[in-house]
Structure 1
Amino acid sequence: MTLLDLTIRNVKRNFRLYSIYLFSMITGVIIQFTFSSLMYNEDIMDALQNRDNFQMGVGIASVVVFMFIIFFILYANSFFMKQRKKEFGMYLLYGLSERQITIMVFYETLFISSISLIAGVLLGGLLSKLFGMLLMNLMQYDQVISLSFPVHAMVSTAGLFLLLAIIISVQSYVMVNRVQLTELFHAKQKSEKAVKTSPVMAMISLLLLGMAYALISSGKGSVFWEDYATWSMVATTIGIIGGTFLFFRQFSGWLLQTISRRSKYHEGNTVLWSSSLRFQIRGNTLNLTFISLFSAAILMLLCFMTINYKVQFEAVERNLPNDIAFQSLDVATNGKIDDLIKSSNHEIRFHLTEELVEASPVTDMHVAFDNPEYFTPGVLLVSQQTYNEFVALREHKQNVSLQGNEAVALSQGADFPEPYAPGQQPSFTVKTDKETTFKLIEKKDYAYLGWASHPVKSMILKPAVIVISDEAYQRLQDHANIRSFEIYGLRDARNAEDLSMQVHTIVTQTPDAYYSSFADVYSKQIEGSSLMLFSSGFLSLIAIFALASVIYFKQLREATDEQLQYSILRKIGVDNSQMKSVIRKQLLFVFLPPLVLGVLHSWFIIKYYILDSVQDFHGLTGMVWSIMGVYFLIYLLFYVSSTNIYYKIVNENH
């Protein structure tokens, strides 16, 4: 009998075990082909405004996706190989070498990979159309996506899985070669030992987690993060990782030990589920720690990208509130631009010419503007009346009321915008032909002119604008330089990229002339944030599937090992309902703590380092809890399916 014949017989004889592995491989192919085919879909490419950025982003994400797939497939293969140790022991006893066994495994892998590629590409082609439509919907493009099977995607997927087959063969060879023959026959007979626990270590695990949560909740403006950022980061990392590990290693063991000492321990079925868990702590600690940290990472990634996506739509408008705005040039050039805009497909909603006073700051810019390096070095002064009229035209509730030398700094993008209480109002001095000192009554996160933009480079710098009272403006305008700006409001400004590029070309013929366009940034920001959300959602889907596999294979292995114990329980009179109750309680103790810790880790970081930074955007907290709620439901499905699988395995021979 040849190795190829032996391989075929193995697949037929162990079809159930192979089917689990085959399902894992097909899933990997589907994921890889679905994602990579998006990069070669002509319909998607035609709809995009920034194709090079998209292809680069998808290319990077594809590498990350493949790394996830490698982890997932290698984990599945590791389980697969451990379940076959006794079989390999028989082959070695009959005279096969490790090299021959490895060749046989390579044949099996090629056979399974071939089936996986055919099935995965067919299913992946269908799913790529669905995910392509989803991506277009995120970008708010009305583009029809056709069903396609790009040759480049098929070739790259086939090549990657051939490489994976080689890696799997190497892994299999190492696993077979490292184990002694006697160990192969007794691979399933090893038993875990109960971990020694202490109340002190159990308490330390809670203290570490509490320390990490306290540091995170202190906020990035606290003394810990302002003055000791590195040490705080190290302490938080140790607290979360170390605290999570000790929680499962010591606290859970101590809790189970405490339960076993209760007077009513032998009543009901407590002894049945808790005694088994005590002996599984050593083997489950790393898995449960990984699941908790992995869950937190998935939730943080998905919540951050979703928040970023939701914020971008409003953030672009906040950063570039004017559809087209540029510094007034000579009459002929202004007229040429006006004619160009009127002849375009974009109806003009309004056209204003705004006048502002130029001034040089005498006071340090940090007093009036957060992150002044992003603002122009000079200051522009606008009158209260002009500002309020323009704000009303935008339908924004950002009016100001000023008297005398009162002023409001428009610190666009301010981390901590605030009105100043009487007596605490900082002074800010500017110079025109003479120096004038204003009292800042408020630092407002609002843009009057918005970032200067470029069709390729996106955002450059933003003008530093201060609103002053009408009286102060009248005093200064006769003794200072006046800069005028042409501001246009357009219909369908989102799709005005071509028009913006033409206007930009004319304006920038004048060196250092200010130009800003909503369209220059909108498509880049929205396409970029949509791609990041789509990629993170895709990666989260893969990560959840990998997580489910870790849980599934772990429970499958433990259920297989405990078939004898449950058989004994059945013989001494434990009925089906009691057995199901024992399994549910046992698995709940495994499933619930990692879920709770994962949600807590992610919530603290999201709340204090993301949500607190975007408080002006409404509905984000509810959206975060919705994501966590969906994750909880998915996790609940894992729990229910695992209990059912566990019960079926322990009753397999009944």
Structure 2
Amino acid sequence: MKLLDLSWRNVRRNFRIYSIYLISMIIGVVIQFTFSSLIFNEDILAVLENEENFQLGLITAAIVVFLFIIFFILYANSFFMNQRKKEFGMYLLYGMSERQIALMVFIETVILSSISLFIGILTGGLLSKFSGMLLMNLMQYDEVISFTFPLEAIGSTIALFIILIGIISIQSYFRVRRMQLVELFHSGANLEKLQPASKLLSLLSVLLLGMAFFLISRGDTSTIWENHLLASIVALIIGLIGGTYLFFRQFSGWLLETISRNRRYNEGNRVLWVSSLRFSVRGNALNLTSISLFSAAIIILVGFVAINYAVQIDGSTKNYPNDIAFESQDEQTQQQIETLIHESDHPMITHETIEGVLTNPVTSRDVAFDQAEFFTEDIVLFSEIQFNDMVALRNDNQEVELHGQEAVVLSTIDTPKQFTKENQTEFTVTTEEESTFHLTERKDYALLGPSSNVNSADGFLNLAIFIISDEAYETMQNGQEVQSYELYQIEDARHAAALSEEIQAIVSQSPEAYYSAFVDNYAIQVESSALLLFTAAFLAVIAVFALGSIIYFKQLREATDEQKQYAILRKIGVSNHEIKRVIRKKLLFVFLPPLILGVLHSLFIMNYSILEEVRDFPQLTTIMWAILIIYFIIYCLFYVSSTSLYYKIVNQQNR
């Protein structure tokens, strides 16, 4: 029989075993093609403001995706090869060489890859449309995404899987070369020896985890971290990694031993699933440790970018309170701009004019601003009444009450600060004469958004604004240069990029004239944060799937090795229902601990470190709960699928 015929017959006759491997490859193709198609989707590229950054970000993420796919499929191939050890032993007895077996495996891989590419690309085309719509929704665009199969995406997916076929073939060849004939016929006979757990190491695992959680809960500003930074980092790493490993290696074994010594140990089916776990728990320790730690990293990553996305959207509204704002123009130009607004799809809602006094700082701007390089050289002074009127119009409840030479600094990029009466900071400005103000507060509030019509490294520069008392403003206003600003609120400002571009072109005719539009920053912030969230979520799903598969394939391998034991249970009268309950309890003990530890690690790190600066963000709790629920659902699906297939495997020889 030719190798091609033998390979094809193997695929058809043992489709149950091959199907697990085939599904893994199909999932890899779907993921790779879905992600690649987004890079070349013309509908998406046409609507983006930052097309180059979008493609660069996705290409970088696509490389990471492919690495995950390699890991996942190679692990699946390892499981697949172990399931076929006895089959390979038969081929060797029949006179086939190791090279012929490796060639047969290569032909099977090509057949499975061809099937997976065909099915995966078709499925990926459907998912790419859904993914594109999801991405556009995150970016808050209304663009309709068509159903397409970009040739570039098809070509890149096929090319990458050709590389993957080569890697799989090399892995399979060396695994066949290392196999011994005796080992092939006794592949399931070697069970791990039962070893007692150490009470001391079990206690040490709890102490190490407790130490890690304690250090995290102290925060990076505590005296422990400030005075002993390096030691704290080392202790935290040892506590998290070492504590987690010992928890699964020793504490879990000690817990099972404790259960086995209980008086009621022999009641029900407890003896069945506990005794089985005691033989396998130590061998799973490294895998479960990796799953717990990587799960924590995944939750932290997705939580961070999801909160960043929500904060960026909220920050755009906060930092750019005016849909369109610019320095007042001459009457003809002003009329031209208002005509553009009226004739656009974004009619005017409100129009306000405010005025301020331009001054030069005598005192260093570092006194008022922590990041003075992001502010204009000139200081603009606005009166208390104008500020309070604008605050009331916006319903922001940020009014100020000033007297004499008191002043409030406005900054959305610096930390808010209160100056006490005993320690008020003096700040001197000059026009024709010098005036000194007493700074009472630095407020996190924007009267005018950053200007996009001035020279700066990142294209945006904040106006340096002081709010002063009405009486001080009247004094400063007399005979001084006054600058007026036009503030507009329009309908559907998020999609007013074209209108903003037209108005900015007019305002830009005056060199260094102030111009600020909500949509300019919104497009940049939302596109970048939405892409980051989408990519992180995509990678997280892949990572969770890969990590869950580690448990999944490990348990299926154990199920194959334990077929004879379950056959004996059936012969002595254990029912199918009871066997299913034993399997559920056993796998629950495997799936649940890494889930709990991963969630605990991530929640401690997120709560005491990453979320400190956004503690008051209203959507914080909702976002974290949503991530944890999705994570829990994915692992539940793995658990249910594993228990079902585990039962089918152990029940196979009993039919």
TM-score when scaled to structure 2? 0.91
Residue 295, structure 1, aligned to residue 295, structure 2: yes
Identify which range, 147-156 or 349-358, moves more after superposition: 349-358
Identify which range, 94-103 or 62-71, moves more after superposition: 94-103
Partner of 1:452: 451
Partner of 1:391: 391
Partner of 1:120: 120
Distance in 2 between the 1:477 and 1:217 partners? 53
Question: Offset of 1:116 from its aligned partner?
Answer: 0.9
SS in 2 for 1:527: helix
The 5 A counterparts of 1:396-475 are 396-415=396-415, 417=416, 419=418, 423=421, 426-432=424-430, 433-440=433-440, 442-453=441-452, 459-475=459-475
Partner of 1:637: 637
Distance in 2 between the 1:204 and 1:226 partners? 26
Q: Judging changes above 3 Å, is the alpha-carbon distance between structure 1 residues 83 and 639 closer, same or farther for their aligned structure 2 residues?
A: same
SS in 2 for 1:325: strand
Question: Offset of 1:497 from its aligned partner?
Answer: 2.1
AA matched with 2:313:
F
SS in 1 for 2:516: strand
Q: Judging changes above 3 Å, is the alpha-carbon distance between structure 1 residues 370 and 239 closer, same or farther for their aligned structure 2 residues?
A: farther
The 5 A counterparts of 1:367-378 are 368-378=368-378
Distance in 1 between the 2:104 and 2:577 partners? 44
SS in 1 for 2:25: helix
Kindly provide the CA deviation profile for residues 414-469 of structure 1, in whole angstroms up to 9, marking residues without a partner as x: 44x3556x5565424223232514141x3321111122226998652212322222
Distance in 1 between the 2:261 and 2:363 partners? 71
Partner of 1:497: 497
Distance in 2 between the 1:227 and 1:405 partners? 42
Question: Offset of 1:234 from its aligned partner?
Answer: 4.2
AA matched with 1:159:
A
Distance in 2 between the 1:266 and 1:607 partners? 43
AA matched with 2:425:
S
AA matched with 1:429:
F
Note if contact 2:387-2:467 (Cα within 8 Å) is conserved in structure 1: yes
Note if contact 2:358-2:379 (Cα within 8 Å) is conserved in structure 1: yes
Partner of 1:75: 75
Distance in 1 between the 2:219 and 2:377 partners? 31
Question: Offset of 1:472 from its aligned partner?
Answer: 2.6
Identity of aligned residues (%): 58
Question: Offset of 1:81 from its aligned partner?
Answer: 0.8
Q: Judging changes above 3 Å, is the alpha-carbon distance between structure 1 residues 288 and 517 closer, same or farther for their aligned structure 2 residues?
A: same
Identify which range, 74-83 or 61-70, moves more after superposition: 61-70
Partner of 1:105: 105
Q: Judging changes above 3 Å, is the alpha-carbon distance between structure 1 residues 340 and 9 closer, same or farther for their aligned structure 2 residues?
A: closer
Structure 2: unaligned runs, 5 residues or longer = none
Q: Judging changes above 3 Å, is the alpha-carbon distance between structure 1 residues 269 and 363 closer, same or farther for their aligned structure 2 residues?
A: farther
Partner of 1:214: 214
Partner of 1:307: 307
SS in 2 for 1:189: coil
Kindly provide the CA deviation profile for residues 292-349 of structure 1, in whole angstroms up to 9, marking residues without a partner as x: 1222222222222222222222211122222222344666665665555555543333
Identify which range, 340-349 or 644-653, moves more after superposition: 340-349
Partner of 2:161: 161
Distance in 2 between the 1:184 and 1:480 partners? 94
Kindly provide the CA deviation profile for residues 68-121 of structure 1, in whole angstroms up to 9, marking residues without a partner as x: 211111111010011112222333344433322221111111111111111111
Distance in 2 between the 1:80 and 1:636 partners? 24
Note if contact 1:296-1:599 (Cα within 8 Å) is conserved in structure 2: yes
Residue correspondences, number: 651
Partner of 1:379: 379
AA matched with 2:387:
Y
The 5 A counterparts of 1:483-494 are 483-494=483-494
Note if contact 1:34-1:124 (Cα within 8 Å) is conserved in structure 2: yes
Question: Offset of 1:590 from its aligned partner?
Answer: 1.0
Distance in 2 between the 1:479 and 1:227 partners? 56
The 5 A counterparts of 1:581-592 are 581-592=581-592
SS in 2 for 1:283: coil
Q: Judging changes above 3 Å, is the alpha-carbon distance between structure 1 residues 199 and 146 closer, same or farther for their aligned structure 2 residues?
A: same
AA matched with 1:443:
R
AA matched with 2:635:
Y
Note if contact 1:327-1:513 (Cα within 8 Å) is conserved in structure 2: yes
Kindly provide the CA deviation profile for residues 455-487 of structure 1, in whole angstroms up to 9, marking residues without a partner as x: 998652212322222223233333765443333
Question: Offset of 1:139 from its aligned partner?
Answer: 2.4
Distance in 1 between the 2:203 and 2:368 partners? 48
Q: Judging changes above 3 Å, is the alpha-carbon distance between structure 1 residues 557 and 424 closer, same or farther for their aligned structure 2 residues?
A: farther
Partner of 1:525: 525
SS in 1 for 2:653: coil
Distance in 2 between the 1:159 and 1:617 partners? 45
Kindly provide the CA deviation profile for residues 2-47 of structure 1, in whole angstroms up to 9, marking residues without a partner as x: 2222212322332211111111111211221222122223322333
Distance in 1 between the 2:226 and 2:471 partners? 41
Note if contact 2:406-2:437 (Cα within 8 Å) is conserved in structure 1: no
Kindly provide the CA deviation profile for residues 344-392 of structure 1, in whole angstroms up to 9, marking residues without a partner as x: 5433333333222344556665554344443335433322111111122
Q: Judging changes above 3 Å, is the alpha-carbon distance between structure 1 residues 413 and 357 closer, same or farther for their aligned structure 2 residues?
A: same
AA matched with 1:34:
T
Question: Offset of 1:557 from its aligned partner?
Answer: 0.8
Note if contact 1:28-1:73 (Cα within 8 Å) is conserved in structure 2: yes
AA matched with 1:248:
F
Note if contact 2:453-2:514 (Cα within 8 Å) is conserved in structure 1: no
Question: Offset of 1:395 from its aligned partner?
Answer: 2.8
Q: Judging changes above 3 Å, is the alpha-carbon distance between structure 1 residues 7 and 576 closer, same or farther for their aligned structure 2 residues?
A: closer
Q: Judging changes above 3 Å, is the alpha-carbon distance between structure 1 residues 514 and 213 closer, same or farther for their aligned structure 2 residues?
A: farther
Residue 279, structure 1, aligned to residue 279, structure 2: yes
SS in 2 for 1:193: coil
Distance in 2 between the 1:480 and 1:425 partners? 30
Note if contact 1:194-1:281 (Cα within 8 Å) is conserved in structure 2: no
Identify which range, 274-283 or 256-265, moves more after superposition: 256-265
Partner of 2:562: 562
Identify which range, 46-55 or 556-565, moves more after superposition: 46-55
